[in-house]
Each structure stands twice: as structure tokens, then as C-alpha cells.
């Protein structure tokens, strides 16, 4: 198939996209599909950078064959051993028997686990460590370890000759490749929210490790980023690196309020609407509101990364937190979302308890501020509750200033 594209004279995109997949990693809705990127370097030696998911197997092998144009395949570098990129390692090794699999020791171990290998590929591995290089003729490739920039075995590869960073899952995004492979061929700014949803949900928990990678990257000149999902980035490198820096350090880009509520009969929603109106009346812009039962957590999580103030409003449910809110809170905790200011609204008809339960959970997160003012609703907001909403709005505004 000829849906390959040249990135440089000797580097070719041979990945493929899936637009039928409903949930990436069985969790994340991908309404615009997803791409699985793979690259072929044709130097004196030929080098394949990662493979693809099994859903695009046939396209990948057609592309690989076409791009090789009769040359043999010498190396396969595995930057990330997660099956969305590595599903074709075994078949590739079998089809191109002279190949060397270039990876680190941890990756080798995972490859053997995933493919249930005993010793069949033993002589095929070439194990690399931090700073090791591979010379392919014109190009010199350097390996840089990036543990936990999604998985523990992750590394990235830098092509010193053309200043290209093969960044594994870092700098990737949801969304298929629609012919336009490069960031300068699309309206890149409009895609930033999807870069955010991808980063925050998939790698967001590992801010510290992402920072370590960003610090290593500071010392090298990067002209092109070739990630494992999404566009090849060459025009907006500074912009996306800055975004990553903010996300990795849990820096809120918006000084405003995100209100996430759950509501069965409408009263908790009504309370959230009253609060939003009071805040807006006091001049707060860009307020965001989510019905947690209606929007997938991944969208709310990525917006929480951006907002400075988060209000969670829930109905009490079987003496606990409403189920969808509880799921969201578990996601927030597992993504370790720091440096936020939180407030809580609870509703309950006989024994409202979820406000304190939510507070207890959120207070486990490092560097968290919780506003003292809690609002309690009993079935629907009465006079006291309405006064408390006004007080909560004031407390939020004070802390915003």
C-alpha cells in the first residue's frame, strides 16, 4: 500500500490508523480514531522504529514491504513494549529473519513474556543502555531511557544526524492520521485539547518522570518529534513542550472554576447552577460545568488539569458518594492531580455524608488545598443552603484573587 509518507529523504512513515475502535485501551473514547505510528529509516542499514497494534496489521506489513523497496530489514528498535505498538514484533522477526531487535533489558524481558518466548529469539537481541549509540551509515542513533513515561521499560531514540526524537508515547495524541501527517498541515491549536486528554489520562500520573525526560531533552536540539500516536511535530515543538512542562508540573492554565456534579432528580445540578451563576456575576469567566454521569471521565480529568479551582457536587448514595462521582474521584487520585483548590457540595435526603467522604479522599493528594466552606443540601436547597452557596462563591473568589 502506498499510504506511506516521507518525513525526510530517508525516513518514512509506515504507520496506520484505526477509526473503528470505540475505546482505546478499553477505557478512552476515541471519536476521531487513533493512529499507530511506525517509522522506517533507510540508511546503509535499515531501521524500523517500533511496530503497531494488531488492528492495523495488514496495512503495516504492506507499508513496510513497500517502503523497504526490496532492501532487507536490519534493525528493529523497540522504544515501548506496550502491545498497541509492539504487537507485530514476532511476525516482523519471523518475516525478516536477519533482523536485530534493539531494546533495553527490561524490554527484552517483556517481549519474552508477551510472546511467550523461550529461547527462539535469543540471538536476535541487541541490548542497549542509556547513552548507547547505533551507527547506521549516515545516521547516529542515541538511546535515552524514559522509565514510566507510560511504562517502566520506555526509552526514546534520538537521531543526531537529522535531529529527530522518536519519543514513544510522549507528545502523542488520540486521533487518526488523515493523510496530513505533519503538525503544519493541520490546525494544530485546535487539537491541543486532545493532546491534553491523551497526556493527562495516559501519562498524567507520572509528572516527575516526564519532567526528567523534558530535562534531558533540554540539552539536545530537536527539529522533529516522531511519536507513536498522532502527528509528526516539527513546527509546534516549543508549544507542545511548554504544554508538557505545565501538565507535568500540575500548573493550571486557567484561573477559574470547574464544577463537576452528579444529580438524580436535579437538585444537586440546580445547586451547581446557582453557584456558577453567582461566580459569573462576580466576574469569573470560563467556568466549566460537567454532569459526571454524562461526560466520560477522561474529558473531565484533562480539564481538571487546566483549572485552578474544582468544585465537586454529589448526591449521597447508599451512605456513600454517588457511584459515578466516586469513580471520577478515584481517577483523580490515581492521576495524582496536584496544586488544585477544591470545594465540596453534598446532597442527601436523610443523612447527607458524601461531602466529608469526598473531602477525605481528595485530601490524600499531595499539595492540595481544600476550602473550609462546605454546602449541605437536604433534598433541595433551602434558605440556609442558598446562603451557604453565596459564602462558598465568596470563598472561591477570595482564593482566586
Ligand X SMILES: Cc1cc2nc3c(=O)[nH]c(=O)nc-3n(C[C@H](O)[C@H](O)[C@H](O)COP(=O)(O)O)c2cc1C
Is residue 263 a contact residue for ligand X (CB under 6 A)? Answer: yes
Compute the least distance from the CB of residue 353 to ligand X, in Å.
Answer: 7
Q: Which of 1, 23, 95, 264 binds ligand X (CB under 6 A)?
A: 264
The entry of ligand X, Fe ion, none that residue 169 binds, CB within 5 to 8 Å by partner kind: Fe ion
Q: Which is nearer to ligand X, 201 or 315 (CB)?
A: 315
Taking residues 323 to 362 in sequence order and writing x for each that binds ligand X by CB under 6 A, - otherwise, the string is ------------------------xxxxxx----------
Q: Which of 43, 50, 84, 194 binds Fe ion (CB under 5 A)?
A: 84
The entry of Fe ion, ligand X, none that residue 318 binds, CB within 5 to 8 Å by partner kind: ligand X
Compute the least distance from the CB of residue 356 to ligand X, in Å.
Answer: 13
Compute the least distance from the CB of residue 33 to ligand X, in Å.
Answer: 36
Going by the DSSP 8-state scheme, the letter that residue 223 receives in this structure is: S
| Cβ contact 195:44 at 8 Å | no
Q: Which stretch binds ligand X (CB under 6 A): 17-25, 127-135, 258-266, 361-369?
A: 258-266
**Grid cell locating 273:** 447552577
267-296 residues in contact with ligand X (CB under 6 A) are 267-268
DSSP string, 41-100: EESSSEEEE----GGGHHHHHHHHHHHHTTPPP-EEE-S--SHHHHTTHHHHHHHSTT-E
**Grid cell locating 1:** 500500500
Q: Which of 117, 379, 395, 397 binds ligand X (CB under 6 A)?
A: 379
| Cβ contact 347:237 at 8 Å | no
106-165 residues in contact with ligand X (CB under 6 A) are none
Is residue 36 a contact residue for ligand X (CB under 6 A)? Answer: no
The entry of ligand X, Fe ion, none that residue 82 binds, CB within 5 to 8 Å by partner kind: Fe ion
Residues 229, 236, 205, 130, CA torsion sign: positive
Q: Which is nearer to Fe ion, 169 or 306 (CB)?
A: 169
Is residue 382 a contact residue for ligand X (CB under 6 A)? Answer: no
Buried (b) or exposed (e) across 38-52, using 16+ Cβ within 10 A? bbbbbbebbbbbbbb
Q: Which of 5, 108, 124, 150 binds Fe ion (CB under 5 A)?
A: 150
List the alpha helices (DSSP H) in 264-353: 267-281, 297-306, 323-334
Alpha carbon distances (Å) from 86 to 94, 169, 214, 228, 291: 14, 12, 24, 11, 37
Tell which residue, 164, 237, 176, 115, has the closest CA to residue 9: 164
Tell which residue, 359, 246, 371, 393, has the closest CA to residue 306: 246
Tell which residue, 5, 26, 134, 131, has the closest CA to residue 74: 134
Buried (b) or exposed (e) across 74-94, using 16+ Cβ within 10 A? bbbbbbbbbbbbbbbbbebbe
Q: Which of 157, 316, 324, 376 binds ligand X (CB under 6 A)?
A: 316
The entry of Fe ion, ligand X, none that residue 163 binds, CB within 5 to 8 Å by partner kind: none
The entry of ligand X, Fe ion, none that residue 266 binds, CB within 5 to 8 Å by partner kind: ligand X
Q: Which of 315, 375, 389, 392 binds ligand X (CB under 6 A)?
A: 315
3-class DSSP state of 312: strand
Residues 291, 295, 297, 298, CA torsion sign: negative
Is residue 208 a contact residue for ligand X (CB under 6 A)? Answer: no
Q: Which stretch binds Fe ion (CB under 5 A): 67-75, 76-84, 183-191, 362-370?
A: 76-84
Say how many C-beta atoms besides its own lie within 10 A of residue 2's C-beta: 8
Taking residues 34 to 73 in sequence order and writing x for each that binds Fe ion by CB under 5 A, - otherwise, the string is ----------------------------------------
Compute the least distance from the CB of residue 274 to ligand X, in Å.
Answer: 12
Residue 266 burial (10 A CB sphere; 0-12, 13-18, 19+):
exposed
Q: Which is nearer to Fe ion, 152 or 289 (CB)?
A: 152
Q: Which of 18, 169, 306, 346 binds Fe ion (CB under 5 A)?
A: 169
Size of the site for ligand X (CB under 6 A): 18
Distance of CA 317 to the CA centre of its chain: 31
Is residue 376 a contact residue for ligand X (CB under 6 A)? Answer: no
Tell which residue, 78, 83, 220, has the closest CA to residue 156: 78
Q: Which residues bind Fe ion (CB under 5 A)?
A: 82, 84, 150, 169
Q: Which residues bind ligand X (CB under 6 A)?
A: 263-268, 315-319, 347-352, 379
Amino acid at each position: 500500500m502506498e499510504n506511506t509518507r516521507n518525513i525526510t529523504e530517508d525516513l518514512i512513515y509506515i504507520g496506520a490508523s484505526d477509526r473503528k475502535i470505540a475505546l482505546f485501551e478499553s477505557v478512552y473514547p476515541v471519536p476521531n480514531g487513533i493512529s499507530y505510528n511506525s517509522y522506517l529509516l533507510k540508511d546503509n542499514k535499515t531501521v524500523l522504529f517500533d511496530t503497531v497494534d494488531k488492528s492495523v496489521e495488514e496495512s503495516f506489513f504492506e507499508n513496510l514491504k513497500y517502503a523497504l523497496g526490496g532492501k532487507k530489514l536490519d534493525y528493529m528498535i523497540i522504544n515501548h513494549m506496550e502491545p498497541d505498538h509492539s504487537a507485530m514484533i514476532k511476525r516482523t522477526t519471523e518475516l525478516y529473519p536477519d533482523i536485530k531487535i534493539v531494546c533495553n533489558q527490561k524490554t527484552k524481558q517483556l517481549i519474552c513474556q508477551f510472546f511467550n518466548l523461550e529461547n527462539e529469539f535469543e540471538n536476535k537481541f541487541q541490548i542497549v543502555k542509556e547513552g548507547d549509540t547505533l551507527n547506521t551509515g549516515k545516521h547516529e542513533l542515541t538511546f535515552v531511557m524514559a522509565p514510566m513515561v507510560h511504562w517502566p521499560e520506555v526509552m526514546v531514540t534520538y537521531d543526531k544526524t537529522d535531529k529527530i526524537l522518536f519519543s514513544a508515547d510522549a507528545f502523542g495524541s488520540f486521533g487518526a492520521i488523515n493523510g496530513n501527517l505533519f503538525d503544519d498541515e493541520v490546525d494544530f491549536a485546535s487539537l491541543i485539547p486532545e493532546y491534553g486528554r491523551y497526556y493527562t489520562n495516559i501519562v498524567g500520573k507520572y509528572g516527575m518522570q516526564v519532567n526528567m525526560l523534558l530535562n534531558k531533552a533540554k540539552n539536545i536540539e530537536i527539529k522533529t518529534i516522531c511519536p507513536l500516536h498522532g502527528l509528526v511535530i516539527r513546527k509546534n515543538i516549543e508549544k507542545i513542550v511548554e504544554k508538557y512542562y505545565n501538565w507535568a508540573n500540575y500548573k493550571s492554565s486557567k484561573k477559574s472554576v470547574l464544577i463537576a456534579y452528579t444529580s438524580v432528580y436535579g437538585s444537586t445540578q440546580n445547586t451547581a447552577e446557582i453557584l456558577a451563576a453567582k461566580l459569573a456575576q462576580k466576574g469569573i469567566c470560563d467556568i466549566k460545568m460537567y454532569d459526571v454521569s454524562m461526560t466520560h471521565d477522561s474529558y473531565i480529568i484533562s480539564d481538571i488539569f487546566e483549572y485552578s479551582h474544582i468544585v465537586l457536587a454529589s448526591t449521597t448514595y447508599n451512605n456513600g458518594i454517588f457511584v459515578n462521582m466516586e469513580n471520577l474521584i478515584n481517577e483523580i487520585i490515581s492521576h495524582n492531580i496536584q496544586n488544585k483548590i477544591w470545594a465540596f457540595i453534598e446532597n442527601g435526603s436523610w443523612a447527607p455524608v458524601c461531602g466529608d467522604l469526598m473531602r477525605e479522599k481528595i485530601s490524600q493528594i499531595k499539595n492540595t488545598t481544600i476550602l473550609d466552606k462546605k454546602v449541605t443540601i437536604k433534598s433541595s436547597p433551602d434558605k440556609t443552603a442558598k446562603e451557604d452557596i453565596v459564602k462558598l462563591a465568596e470563598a472561591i473568589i477570595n482564593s482566586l484573587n
